[in-house]
Chains A and B, each alone.
Chain A
Amino acid sequence: MSESAVRVGLVFPELLGTYGDRGNAITLVERLRRRGRPAELVEVAAGAALPDALDIYLLGGGEDDPQVVAATGLRASRNQLARAREGGAVVLAVCAGFQLLGHRYEARDGASMDGLGLVDATTVAGPDRCIGEVVVEPDPELGLPLLTGFENHGGRTTLGSESRPLGDVVVGHGNGNGVDGVRAERLIGTYLHGPVLPRNPALADLLLSWVVGELGPIDDTLPNALRTSRLDAALAHGVRRWWGERRIARG
């Protein structure tokens, strides 16, 4: 393994940065540096072509109009991203970014926007927004503990038969059908903001391990305390709601 700097790419932050997803890039870079690994945050400005030499591509959430502009830019860079993926690059895509990995996004007015088709998924705008704390039980194969995040989106995402979700939704909505996100070779899509990586250090390290291999431990006292406090709050809320629905069902 060479010791050249790991290049963490933040894709179109002006467009896909409405929900603090820059925090995912900060977290990855900092967790590498704390282990003595050189790392570099590379911001890919909107309007620029996506370089194909990044190690990690981070796509965040954004508003409707910026998402349309981001989709155009991403489609124009489809080949660069494909080359990077073949070379082993990792992708984390959140919310609008996750939707753009799929085949298309259909708005309420029927307008359809093409995505990258990198994963077998389609998103349709729902009648209302899903807003609140989320808990996801990840696919056991990932070897991750419960994930915590905050969602704020109107999309309902259906995965194709070949696609596997990131995990099951315990609290919240995720894709809108009991699961959240998508996972593929060195790729994760999710509706979890928060941002997701500061709240879930194990997920951050999983992504990094796909680039640099096994990682030693670092002091995670603060991130673990944050993760536990958000899980406690979300699960308590989930139990209260479940209990309320159960009482209504029983009359």
Chain B
Amino acid sequence: MLGIHPELLGELARDQRVVLVSATNGKTTTTHFLAAALRAADEPVVSNVTGANLASGLAAALDRAEGPGFAVLEVDERVLPRVVDALRPELLVLGNLSRDQLDRYGEVGSVTASWRAVAERRDAPSVVANSSDPAVVWAAEPAAPTWVALGARWRQDASTCPRCGELLSWTDVTFACANCGFGAPATVNRLEPGALVLGDRRLELDLALPGTWNEANAALAIAAAAKLGVDPVAAARAVTNIDTVSGRYAIHQLGDGRPARVLLAKNPAGWSEVLRFLSDRDSGVVIALNAHIADGRDPSWLWDVPFELLRGRSVAASGERALDVAVRLDYAGVPILVVPDALAAATRVEGSEVHIVASYTQFTALSRRLR
């Protein structure tokens, strides 16, 4: 799975203070935020911000280092435990775990267990982790992390206790296991609407990037930067001005003059955030879905996304699996156009703006075409 000799990775990382960022959703943006915060503090930084998060991408990023400094690396959830020995990271930044590409990765439980094995080692790196995600809490707990409560918005993949297997009980904000006592660890660090409370400080998060999910990414990145010695106020300032992440979130203009933005959503947790973001906008929507290996070959998760929320909106289905999208939307009571090409579809949907919500290979192909 590595495809690269661990000794090479270790050699490339020798002079670097390595930080590894992993999560099911948000790892590219969190990595970008953290790298920006370190650069703002005048630290030399190499990073794999294009989302190349397998061993080859890590090696390519490390190879760009021109001297000692930070290597802030986004790592695929499955690859993380396999590169820890070679890279000897100083810090792990752990966001969230939910179902994604079940055909390739297996279920959430096996990823959680592989992360926990890293945290249990006596030489485990420092960890900054999200205390609102039961799987992340179970995985990170043995390393005594710095916790940040990012809020639990997606819980469909966290119904049973990762410690004992019994049903977890949830309130609006937290979880607990009545059987074994497992629960969210206490921390003052927390994300509030538009602000991060970090220790005794409160930092406003007036982000240029859209969506509450990016506030969570920013909060985690600022907490990680603070752990690495950066002034959190300066870190917060550095992340708020970022308006694109290697092409992501950039606004393009359609032939008819309307603005269009491409968003990546590849699993139900990501989609639930996108739907919340779209809810108060007059936006047409194109759903562009492929099912290649990098997308996950099984798009059955479409049925766990409450697409009923798109009723009354102009929506088109695109991509190689447009028909899976079309049947889902039709049964959700959303009239749907099937237009195989996503950019052609964008010109066909109504609204004062258009959002193209794409699976991974659609997203990368569209980003190239729009560059």
Contact = CB atoms under 8 A, between A and B. Distances in A.
A77 interface: no
B231 interface: no
Contact of A193 (B159, B298, B327, B328): B298
A245 interface: no
Interface string B76-111: 000000000000000000000001001100111100
Given A18-B157, A152-B102, A222-B327, A63 B303 contact: no
B326 A65 contact: no
Contacts of B273: none
Given A63-B107, A65-B165, A20 B160 contact: no
B300 interface: yes
B298 to A, nearest CB: 5
Given A63-B108, A152-B298, A19 B102 contact: yes
B323 interface: yes
A246 B303 CA distance: 38
Contact of B303 (A26, A46, A131, A132): A26
Interface residues of A, number: 35
Contacts of A19: 102, 298, 300-301
B156 interface: yes
Contacts of A90: none
A111 to B, nearest CB: 12
Interface string B121-160: 0000000000000000000000000000000000011011
A64 B327 contact: no
A58 to B, nearest CB: 12
A64 B109 contact: yes
A18 B303 contact: no
A63 B165 CA distance: 11
Interface centre among B302, B303, B327 (most CB of A within 10 A): B303
Interface centre among B109, B298, B302, B333 (most CB of A within 10 A): B298
B282 interface: no
Contacts of B157: 18
A81 B349 CA distance: 47
Interface centre among B300, B304, B333 (most CB of A within 10 A): B300
B167 interface: yes
A194 interface: yes
Interface stretch (A100-108, A157-165, A181-189, A223-231): A223-231
B166 interface: yes
A223 B109 contact: no
Interface of B: 99, 102-103, 106-109, 156-157, 159-160, 165-167, 297-298, 300-304, 323-324, 326-328, 330-333
15 contacts: A15-B159, A19-B298, A20-B301, A20-B304, A21-B303, A26-B303, A30-B331, A46-B159, A65-B160, A66-B159, A69-B160, A193-B298, A198-B327, A198-B331, A222-B330
The 4 closest A-B pairs by CB, nearest first: A23-B303, A20-B300, A14-B159, A20-B303
